[in-house]
Amino acid sequence: MRATGQGEADAARGNRGVHAEPRRGMLGRLPIGARRLLWPLLVAAAVAVLVTGVIVVVQPTGPTPAPAATQALDAPPSTSPQPGAPSPTTPATTTSPTGATPTPAPTAKPTTGRPVAPAAPAVTSKRKGVGVWTFDGVSQALANSGASWYYTWDVAHSGVTSPKGAEFVPMIWGAKSVTAANLQQAKKNGRHLLGFNEPDLQGQAEMTVEQALELWPQLQATGLPLGSPAVAWGGDRPGEWLDRFMAGVKQRGYRVDFIALHWYGGDFTTANAVNQLKSYLQAVHDRYQLPIWLTEFALIDFSNGVRFPTQAQQAAFLTAATRMLGGLSWLQRYAWFGLPATDKDQTGLFRTGSTATAVGRAYQAAR
């Protein structure tokens, strides 16, 4: 009932007129004695009616609420977070500015694909190696790569920390590297020794066969297992640099314990590149009957400038090639070219100490 003021109540009472006084009914017609007996009963009945009316007025007028159990079953699920401890996927609550409307937390959408597996740890093998030069994070990248050995084209590894269990292999790079100090450091730092770097190529060691043979006894004197000079190409061909060097070694009674080779492929089709590499290695092994270390290899086309494959092509080649190398009993070691990755060095494995390229992830999984 709507509340009213005092003036409105008085006017209402004045408008009632003749209907303000009750009419005389059956009670007025009874004898006085009977009325005296019935009066208390009527008063009690009237009081009961009034109490019942009050109860009816107080009761809510809406529908009767369902039992708690029924409400829980029938009610739609709540879309707003309940008060209390936050759920595991809900970010911690932050205080909103006064008057600001809090932004509802996004609802996580179910994924239909497979969950993303964490990156597998790098695997390794005795043959797995890499060529290294310094960059930011080089030691961490080397440790993350899974390489069991590495080299720096030098007799030392300044700026590079060897990972636990990894072997550093020194190199006597060219003619000017053949000094007593370098030879002594190589003997101190390594258990194997690599010979001259691409003596058949201008801009690299660039040495004649005779010059290399004259210096070779000094490398032998370290007593370390000694790898041949690593030619840039033609290691399987009669009359080329390596063939003439090995002939001189034999004639002079010198020692070469394993053949070091480089190989770069210009055919970016995985199967073709792997077959070409295998054929080259097999031909060199057949010719000299010595173990082989493949100390540089990757896909780079040098036929017309420098052309690189895509990361996917390079990674596919690395995976297939290392699997093939694992089946060659006389292939003792390999070293990918190289560890650092830049826009220029597109065959590289790591851009930072912890950021592997697609090729780097393929290398980590290789043996």
283-329 pLDDT, tens digit each: 999 999 999 999 999 999 999 999 999 999 999 999 999 999 999 99
Q: Write the pLDDT tens digit of every residue in 256-276.
A: 999 999 999 999 999 999 999
**Where residue 146 sits, what CATH number does that domain have?**
3.20.20.80
Contacts of 302 (CB under 8 A, 6+ apart): 264, 266
Q: Which of 7-16, 60-69, 110-119, 163-172 has the highest mean pLDDT?
A: 163-172
CB-CB contact of 237 with 284 (8 Å): no
Length of the chain (residues): 367
Q: Is residue 181 part of a domain?
A: yes
- Specify whether the CB–CB gap between 173 and 199 falls below 8 A: no
Q: Is residue 56 predicted with pLDDT exceeding 70?
A: no
- 60-80, pLDDT tens digit by residue? 444 333 333 333 333 333 333
In this structure, is residue 289 part of a structural domain? yes
- Higher-confidence position of 274 and 43: 274
Query: Is residue 51 domain-resident?
Result: no
Range of the domain at 295: 128-365
| Claim: this prediction has a pTM higher than 0.75 | no
29 phi, psi to nearest 5 deg? -90, -15
| Listed range (78-87, 156-165, 187-196, 231-240) with the worst mean pLDDT | 78-87
Instruction: Determine the pLDDT at residue 124.
Output: 85
pLDDT category of residue 123 using cuts at 50, 70 and 90: confident
Least confident of 119-128, 231-240, 241-250, 289-298: 119-128
User: What are the structure tokens assigned to 328, written together?
Assistant: 């060659």
Is 296 within the bounds of a domain?
yes
Domain assignment present for residue 298? The answer is yes
How far is residue 154's CA from residue 195's CA, in Å, rounded to a whole number? 10
Confidence of residue 120 (pLDDT cuts 50, 70, 90): low
Does the residue 225 lie in any domain? yes
Residue 98 lies in a domain: no
Largest CA distance in the chain: 160
Average pLDDT over residues 2-27: 36
Closest to 287 (Cα-Cα) out of 321, 259, 262, 265:
259
Strand partners, 293: 260, 333
What does the alpha-carbon distance between residue 149 and residue 128 come to, in Å, rounded to a whole number? 7
Q: What domain count does the chain have?
A: 1
Average pLDDT taken over every residue of the chain: 78
324 found inside a domain = yes
* Distant-in-sequence, close-in-space partners of 233: CB < 8 Å, separation ≥ 6: 200, 240, 262
